């Protein structure tokens, strides 16, 4: 089965390694490549791959919106996220899925054994990453999901859009108080820039703090540890879990993720 991941940049991607491990585990034969697409040429590059027999592909930054537009059908996760990170070629149809939220959910509930029901969840950031994880989170029936963003209006608009799926609210980062929350998810790009949003420190007390970024200790993780978080986790488990969901979407085989998470973490250390 001919598979790939598209991005720009793409050299850093761990996807080929992860999917090779899944293939070895499940006995599925795959050929999985990293493809650098021009910033303004994603659709053409993807179409060339399909014409050469490509059966599915992952999509990373900055092409998730382009992938949404390329897909001819969308899952409910892709529809609500407004972005696609996985496409399956099914005859003439290109089925778009977004496995980011499923990946986060599986890491939280299966690997970390966190029950989200009736919990208060605070998400930092209101961009595409947050939009991608909101529906699966809300389907777990937390007491409330709060979205805090530097631009408050973006957070309130996003919260309003997801109101039909559960209890949500949005506000500016400066409105965060030292109230108790159960889980804090950092979905901002601040970790990429080596920064930490300036927010009230008391909010981390006894909270589970999860950074969507992986591969290194982030300023958010340092902040959480310094402010008495009960658990501090990076997004490597989410990366492997969203890949597992994509692998199953393409092949029908559900891989075991724990050993792969450990192998990739050892590779990164």
179 — pLDDT class (breaks 50, 70, 90)? confident
Query: Do 160 and 249 lie in a common domain?
Result: no
Please say if the pLDDT value at position 192 is more than 80.
no
Query: Do 109 and 78 lie in a common domain?
Result: no
Query: Do 78 and 110 lie in a common domain?
Result: no
Q: How far apart are CA 120 and CA 185, in angstroms?
A: 11
Query: Do 86 and 18 lie in a common domain?
Result: yes
* Buried b or exposed e, range 85-117, using 16+ CB within 10 angstroms: bbbbbeeeebbbbbbbbbbbbbbbbebeebebe
CB 48 within 8 A of CB 42: no
Please say if the pLDDT value at position 193 is more than 80.
no
Predicted local confidence at residue 96, as pLDDT: 98
Query: Do 64 and 128 lie in a common domain?
Result: no
Number of domains in the chain: 2
- pLDDT for 204-234, tens place per residue? 999 999 999 998 899 999 999 999 999 999 9
Predicted local confidence at residue 268, as pLDDT: 73
Predicted local confidence at residue 125, as pLDDT: 95
Cross-strand pairs, 238: none
Rounded (10°) angle between helices 128-138 and 152-161: 40
Query: Do 70 and 133 lie in a common domain?
Result: no
180 — pLDDT class (breaks 50, 70, 90)? confident
Predicted local confidence at residue 198, as pLDDT: 87
Query: Do 77 and 146 lie in a common domain?
Result: no
CB 120 within 8 A of CB 180: yes
Query: Which of the residues are catalytic?
Result: 64
What number is the average pLDDT over the span 26-38?
98
Predicted local confidence at residue 191, as pLDDT: 74
- Helix/strand/coil for 131: helix
What number is the average pLDDT over the span 190-211?
90
pLDDT > 90 fraction of the chain, expressed in percent and rounded: 92
CB atoms within 10 A of CB 13: 18
Query: Do 196 and 226 lie in a common domain?
Result: yes
Q: How far apart are CA 34 and CA 264, in angstroms?
A: 17
CATH of the domain at 78: 3.40.50.10860
Query: Do 129 and 185 lie in a common domain?
Result: yes
- pLDDT for 131-176, tens place per residue? 999 999 999 999 999 999 999 999 999 999 999 999 999 999 999 9
Predicted local confidence at residue 194, as pLDDT: 79
Residue 104's nearest CA partner among 142, 69, 152, 65 is 142
177: containing domain = 102-234
CATH of the domain at 140: 3.40.50.720
Q: Mind spelling out the 3-state secondary structure of 159-206?
A: HHHCHHHCCEEEEEHHHCCCCCCCEEEECCCCCCCCCCCCCCHHHHCC
Query: Do 211 and 244 lie in a common domain?
Result: no
Tokens of 66: 């382009």
Predicted local confidence at residue 216, as pLDDT: 86
Predicted local confidence at residue 62, as pLDDT: 93
Instruction: Look up the pTM and report it.
Output: 0.95
Query: Do 163 and 243 lie in a common domain?
Result: no
Predicted local confidence at residue 189, as pLDDT: 83
Residue 170's nearest CA partner among 188, 151, 183, 152 is 152
- pLDDT for 37-88, tens place per residue? 999 999 999 999 999 999 999 999 999 999 999 999 999 999 999 999 999 9
- pLDDT for 243-269, tens place per residue? 999 999 999 999 999 999 999 999 877
Query: Do 214 and 257 lie in a common domain?
Result: no
């Amino acid at each position: 089965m001919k598979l790939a991941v598209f991005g720009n940049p793409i050299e850093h991607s761990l996807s080929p390694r992860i999917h090779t491990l899944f293939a070895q585990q499940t006995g599925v034969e795959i050929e999985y490549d990293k493809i650098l697409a021009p910033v303004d040429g994603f659709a053409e590059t993807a179409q060339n791959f399909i014409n050469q027999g490509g059966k599915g592909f992952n999509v990373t930054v900055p092409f998730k919106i382009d992938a949404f537009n390329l897909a001819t059908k969308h899952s409910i996760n892709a529809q609500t996220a407004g972005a696609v990170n996985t496409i399956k070629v099914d005859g003439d149809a290109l089925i778009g899925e977004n496995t980011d939220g499923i990946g986060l959910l599986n890491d939280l509930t299966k690997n970390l054994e966190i029950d989200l029901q009736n919990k208060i969840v605070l998400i930092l950031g209101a961009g595409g990453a947050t939009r991608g994880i909101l529906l699966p989170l809300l389907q777990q029936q937390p007491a409330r999901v709060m979205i805090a963003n530097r631009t408050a209006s973006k957070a309130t608009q996003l919260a309003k859009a997801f109101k039909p799926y559960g209890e949500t609210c949005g506000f500016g980062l400066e409105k965060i108080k030292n109230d108790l929350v159960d889980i804090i998810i950092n979905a901002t790009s601040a970790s990429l820039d080596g920064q930490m949003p300036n927010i009230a420190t008391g909010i981390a007390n006894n909270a589970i703090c999860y950074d969507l970024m992986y591969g290194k200790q982030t300023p958010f993780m340092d902040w959480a540890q310094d402010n008495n978080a009960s658990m501090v986790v990076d997004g490597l488990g989410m990366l492997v879990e969203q890949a597992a969901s994509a692998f199953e979407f393409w092949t029908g085989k559900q891989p075991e993720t724990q050993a792969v998470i450990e192998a990739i973490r050892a590779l990164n250390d």
